[in-house]
Structure 1
Amino acid sequence: MIEWQEERVIETNIENVWELFLDENIKRIMPKVEEHTLIEKNEEQPGAKHRQTYREGKRLETYIVDTLAYENKDDEKYKKVSFIIGKAFEITVSYHLTKLDESRTKFIYEGTNKGVNFIGRAMLKFANKKGSRDVVEQFMDRVEQEAVQQGIKT
């Protein structure tokens, strides 16, 4: 199993960051997602389900994303989702935002990637840990860059 928890302060208002995690903007921070369609409940509640299609090179993978937790307060935002990809990996991630002041937001990104069968567990055992860390850092960089640009627009 691979686990991560990273945090950083983003120099913009909490709403500018949170907006990126809404369905209509998800492709801005997850450019390999080709489709993100709500299929059950609404995006702002636990139990919501989305059909998501992700491109890795020439391969497309479609799976269901389950929203496990959703909280949208003025000074704190939280979303936790889980999905199984490739019938081999269960990925659970959460995005936690805390308002530090009107122009700074603490962003905590954490998650797990665990094998759901023998092949998945074996692949993770030999996975490049540095490569996994790089993916997390690139995601956080993209969120920060998009959020700051969002703040400039508003």
Structure 2
Amino acid sequence: MKQWTKEIVIDAPIEHVWKYLDGSLENMQKIMPQVVSNEPVTLTEEKVGSIYLQKYKEGKRVMEYEVETLDYLDAPSEKKMKVGFTLGGMFEITAGYDLVKVDDDKTRFIYTTTNRPLKWFVKLFLLFANDKVVVDFVQRVKRVAEEEGRQQ
């Protein structure tokens, strides 16, 4: 299993950043443009255990998988969500999004993802995996949140 964690400070209020992670499909697509749909299958009151059917477009291929909410917290100064899914029967993936209020206009964003191969031959792919996708993602969240925050 491989794990990557990246942290960045975003010049935007915590609620503003949170809406991209725990909001509408339209807001989610601003930071995850490959997600083409995110439909609820099972919703729980406390959010943990909720399952969404998500469709993800990679090139011309659309992959479909169930995303389960594994951890959830929505407090005024701290917000977190962790989701898990199996991709193509090859990888078990988790993604954790942690937001910490630095002050009224700054938010610390910590993104942690794990990737566990489910088949022996895909372990080789992980040997060459780096953190580029993770770095690109946290920078995209920062860019989108700050640009849209300035426009409001």
Normalized against structure 2, the TM-score is what?
Answer: 0.92
Counterpart in the other structure of 2:135: 137
Gaps of 5+ in 2: none
Counterpart in the other structure of 1:104: 106
Measured in 1, the distance between the counterparts of 2:46 and 2:88 equals 26
The CA deviation at 1:38 is 1.1
Counterpart in the other structure of 2:40: 38
Q: C-alpha offsets along residues 115-147 of structure 1, whole Å, 9 cap, x if unaligned?
A: 01223323323x342xxx111111111111111
Letter in 1 for 2:106: R
Measured in 1, the distance between the counterparts of 2:95 and 2:46 equals 16
Contact 1:16 1:148 in 2 (8 A): no
Counterpart in the other structure of 1:26: 28
Q: Is 2:146 the counterpart of 1:148?
A: yes
Counterpart in the other structure of 2:8: 8
Contact 1:23 1:36 in 2 (8 A): no
Cα gap change, 1:44 to 1:28, in 2 (>3 Å):
farther
Letter in 2 for 1:148: E
Measured in 2, the distance between the counterparts of 1:26 and 1:137 equals 18
What secondary structure is seen at the aligned counterpart in 2 of 1:39?
strand
Cα gap change, 1:3 to 1:45, in 2 (>3 Å):
same
Counterpart in the other structure of 2:74: 72
Structure 1 segments of 4 or more deviating over 3 A?
none
Letter in 1 for 2:148: Q
What secondary structure is seen at the aligned counterpart in 2 of 1:137?
helix
The CA deviation at 1:42 is 5.0
Normalized against structure 1, the TM-score is what?
Answer: 0.91
Q: Identity of counterpart residues, as a percentage? A: 37
Letter in 2 for 1:9: V
Gaps of 5+ in 1: none
Letter in 1 for 2:125: M
